[in-house]
A = this chain, B = another copy of it.
Amino acid sequence: MSLVVVGSVAYDGVETPHGRVDRMLGGAATYIALSASYFTQARIVAVVGDDFAEADTELLASRGIDLEGLERVPGKTFFWAGKYTDDMNDRVTLATDLNVFADFKPKLPESYQNARYLLLGNIQPSLQRSVRAQMKHLRLAGGDTMNYWISDFRGELLETIRHWDFLLINDHEARLLAGENNLRKAASKILDMGPHTLVIKRGEYGAMLFRRDSYFIVPGYLLENVFDPTGAGDCFAGGFIGYLAEKGFDLKKGHINAKELSRAVIYGSVMGSFCCEKFGVDRFRTLTRAEIDARFNEFRAFTEF
């Protein structure tokens, strides 16, 4: 069943110890939608400028992604540039030119409004809220946020996530949001804020999923080479929600299968790991579902005891 994805579609400049690309397709919505497209139909809501390349539209379309909600306006597309440290665990932002993204007011095409799944990428909480309000038959909705919104827009953010099924953030953000260093306690506090499911991404160390009555932890996949971690967290989100959408997971029926949620975390981890294997979105030009399922099985092999 189809998935609406809201967030940035951007151009990125990235430098890692393995190389440098001055300008390539990026943005949270791009990565989420590409990743989710292996499991379900993704429908993008985003804005780009008139410099957005036809080849990039084609890549998204080639994955069956619905672009009716990809607004094109005069001006330049959102541009971000960053440089990674040698161990890839940190990055410095070199440029953030919001451009047309500064005035982004997400508008959902009518054909999107009956989609059952919603993934709200990291944008201003009030915009995330406005999108959720436009959806009529949601089975599952959730999204991402970041330090900036947690620190400077806390009230607005809390009001927004109160209505989400799941929140998907990294460990630093979880600690900041909860005001608590211990992740188990932080998770408990965040589950009091509304979402019944919390997914915490830990980069190379894997991911965790918390619910009131259970939790699940998976270590990260050990890549031999991490070429570019940009977008890995968004690809995780795409794999997570994509798998649940593929399965038709329906919370409205009150049915929550914890094992399926755990498997969704594995598919998220799988997609995040593939993302790092090449620069930008390049891995998705050749990646197949068979490779994805093979890596899912690899996760089983190296975690079972």
Contact = CB atoms under 8 A, between A and B. Distances in A.
A266 interface: yes
Given A263-B305, A305-B262, A222 B218 contact: no
Nearest to A183: B222
Contacts of A22: none
A203 to B, nearest CB: 10
The 7 closest A-B pairs by CB, nearest first: A262-B305, A217-B219, A184-B222, A205-B205, A219-B219, A184-B224, A263-B305
A305 B259 contact: yes
Chain A, interface SS category? mixed
Interface in A202-218: 202, 205-206, 208, 214-218
Interface of A: 86-87, 181-185, 202, 205-206, 208, 214-219, 222-226, 259, 262-263, 265-266, 300-305
11 contacts: A182-B223, A185-B224, A202-B205, A205-B205, A208-B222, A215-B222, A216-B302, A216-B305, A217-B219, A217-B302, A217-B303
Contacts of A300: 305
Nearest to A220: B217
Nearest to A263: B305
A217 B223 CA distance: 13
Nearest to A221: B217
A256 to B, nearest CB: 15
A80 to B, nearest CB: 26
A120 to B, nearest CB: 25
Given A206-B219, A219-B219, A225 B305 contact: no
Nearest to A181: B87
Most buried by B among A185, A219, A265, A302: A219
A218 B184 contact: no
A87 B216 CA distance: 22
Contacts of A206: 205, 219
A211 to B, nearest CB: 11
